[in-house]
Structure 1
Amino acid sequence: MNDLFWSPVQLSLKIAAVALVMVFITGTLLAKMMARRKFKGKILVETLFMLPLVLPPTVIGFLLIIIFGNSSPVGRWIQWFFDQPIMFTWWAAVIASTVVALPLMYQSAKTGFSDVDSGVEEAARVDGAGEWIVFFFVTVPLAYRSIISGAILSFARAFGEFGATLMFAGNIPGKTQTIPTAIYISLESGNMELAWLFVLTMIIISFLMLFAASIFK
C-alpha cells in the first residue's frame, strides 16, 4: 500500500514542480512582452495562448502526440538526440502539464504587469537603468502578488492534470502514473480505499494551493 500510494504522489509533485519552472519562466516573459504592446493580431495571439484552458484534454493530448510522437520530425529528432522517444516518459507528463498550466501563469502575470505604473518604470529608465534592470528590480517587485498567485495556480493545475497526460505519457506505475491516473485505475480495479486516499490528498493539496493563491490576489 505504501508504494502504491507514495509513488504517484511523489511523481505528481516532481512533475508539477518541473512544469512550474517552465511555466513560470515562459509565462512571465510572454506576459511582459504582451502586457503593454499593441500590434495587429494581438487578440489572435493571446487567444492562442489561452486556448489550452478551454480545449478538451483529449485534444491537447492528441496534438502533443502529433507534434512529439515517434512519427513526427520533432519526435524523431528527440529520439535521435536522447536515444529514446519522449512519449510514455515522465517528461511527456511535464510537457502536458506545462501546456495546460501556462495560460494561468500568463494571464495572472499579464494582469500584474498591466497594473504597474508605467511612470515608475520610466523614471528608472531616466535614471539610467536598462530594460532588464527595470524588469527585475522595478516591474517584477511591483507585480509580485499577481506573479506568485499565477505560479501557485499553475502548480495546482499541473498537479491535477489527467487527460492529456494519460494520452501522451500513459499510466506506467512508478514511471508516469500520477495521482489523477492512479485514482482512475484504483476505481477501475475496485480499490476504493486507495482511491479515497488519492482523492483526499488531491483535495487537501488543491485547497491549500487555492487558499495560498487567494492571499496574494
Structure 2
Amino acid sequence: MEMQNKKSILKIDHLSVNYGYVRALVDESIEVKQDEIVTLIGSNGAGKTTTLMAVSGLVKKAAGTIIYKSQDITSMPPDKLVKLGIAHVPEGRKIFPQLSVYENLIAGSLGNPKMSKQDVKEQMEYVYQLFPRLKERYRQAGGSLSGGEQQMLAIGRGLMMKPDLIMLDEPSMGLAPKIVEGIFELILKIRDTGKTVLLIEQNASMALSIADRGYVLETGHIRMTGTGQELLTNDDVKKTYLGQ
C-alpha cells in the first residue's frame, strides 16, 4: 500500500503546551499513518518528550487537538488512552526492578482489560519471539538485566497490551553501539508485524535510517519534515544533527 493511501492513526493539530511561562510546544502539527515509523528529532529541550506526554495525557494542552483513529483524545485521561491502544515506553525504561521478567510483562497486559487469558498467552509468545533473550531470562529480576535487556523488557512490556501505536522515548539511551543496532532492528520488526511506531531519538542518524518519515523539532516548533531518507541527506539536518 502506498504511504499516501494509508490511514491516519494519529494527528496532532496546532498543539501548544506550556510549562508555566516556558512554551514547550508551539503550534505543532504532525501526522502518523498506520504501519509507519515516524521519528521526531531535535536537540534536548526541543519538545520531543513533551509531544509524547501530550499524546499520553500526561501534560495539559494550552491549545490544539490530538486525534487518534478519528477520535478526539485531547482531554482524555491516561488510563483511557491505554485502553484505546496507545502504549508509551518512557525514557529511562522504568521497568519494575524487583519483579521478574515474566511479571514485568504480565504487568504490561493489565493496561488492556479486554484481553483474555488466551490473548495474554499469545501476546507473551509474540514478545518472546521478538526478544528471545527475555524468554531465556523470564525468571530473572528485571533489575538484574543488562541495559540492553532492560530496554527490550520495557518495549516488550509496552507491546503486551496489544497496542496499535507504540511510542518509544530514547530507546538507545545509554546503550553500547552494537546493542543500539539490535534495538533499531527490533523496531523495524515491530513495524513489520503491523504496529505503528512514533519514535523519539537522540541518535538522529539511526532514527532517520529506519523511519518512513521524520519531523525536525526546534524549541517547540516543527522546522522541517520529510521522508527519513530526505532528512538524512538534507544539508541543514546533516550539519545540525548528524555532525557532518
Q: TM-score, normalised by structure 1?
A: 0.28
Higher strand proportion (structure 1 or 2):
2
Greater radius of gyration (CA): 1
- Of structures 1 and 2, the one scoring higher in RCO (CA 8 A, sep 6+) is 1
